[in-house]
Amino acid sequence: MNNIISNILRFLVVILLQIFVCNYINLFGFVTPALYLLALLLLPLELPKSAQYLIGFFTGLVIDMFTHTLGVNAAACVLVMFVRPYIVRLLNGRSTVEGVDRPEPGIKDFKWIFTYVLLLSFLHQFMVVMLETASFRNFGHTLLSVLCNTVFTAFVIICAEYIFFPIKRNA
């Protein structure tokens, strides 16, 4: 029960930070971090797939309501939730995700977390930018936008993970 409450509180805090802080960060005119991905990336993998898809959809929909993007984030979040178990299997080298530990510092090493966050951030940002532009014109600028948003989002998410889940040292 305590884990459910902590997941809900984390969701609320991250969504509020995204809406009231991160949405107003606009570096170089096109770089905005998607901190709300942190809440999705830390969801337990044991949740039923349908629940994961619904959580992803409604999380993206809330962000879409505040950014006026008409379902772009909802679609990208559902895609992230769909691909997430495959990325975990790829990183763990196993065929199943049952019993997989949470992607938190101290449980997983930095390399694992970095790869996990970077891959899913790239997928999310690629989907968002491609759905927003709906064109391959100015592909160089589009690719630059995807890469810059991916790097900045991954940096912000990893920093937040290490702030929310500090590594516990044995005394």
Domain ranges of the chain: 2-164
Greatest CA separation for the chain: 57
CB 155 within 8 A of CB 34: no
Distance CA 120, CA 108 (A): 16
- Provide the 10 A C-beta neighbour count for residue 20: 10
Burial 117-138 (b: 16+ CB within 10 A, else e): bbbbbbbbbbbbbeeeeeeeee
7 φψ region: left (φ > 0), alpha (ψ -120 to 50), beta (else)? alpha
CA 1 remoteness from chain centre: 24
Q: Any bridge partners for residue 161, and if so which? A: none
Q: Which two tokens stand for residue 65?
A: 């309501």
> pLDDT tens per residue, the chain (171 residues)?
567 787 788 888 888 888 888 778 777 777 788 889 998 998 888 889 999 999 999 999 999 999 888 889 999 999 999 999 999 988 887 655 555 556 777 777 889 889 999 999 999 999 998 888 877 778 888 888 889 999 999 999 998 888 877 665 544
pTM of the model: 0.85
Q: Helix, strand, or coil here: 12?
A: helix
CB 40 within 8 A of CB 81: yes
Q: Which two tokens stand for residue 44?
A: 């337990």
CATH architecture, range 2-164: Orthogonal Bundle (1.10)
> Tens digit of pLDDT for each residue in 32-70?
888 899 989 988 888 899 999 999 999 999 999 998 888
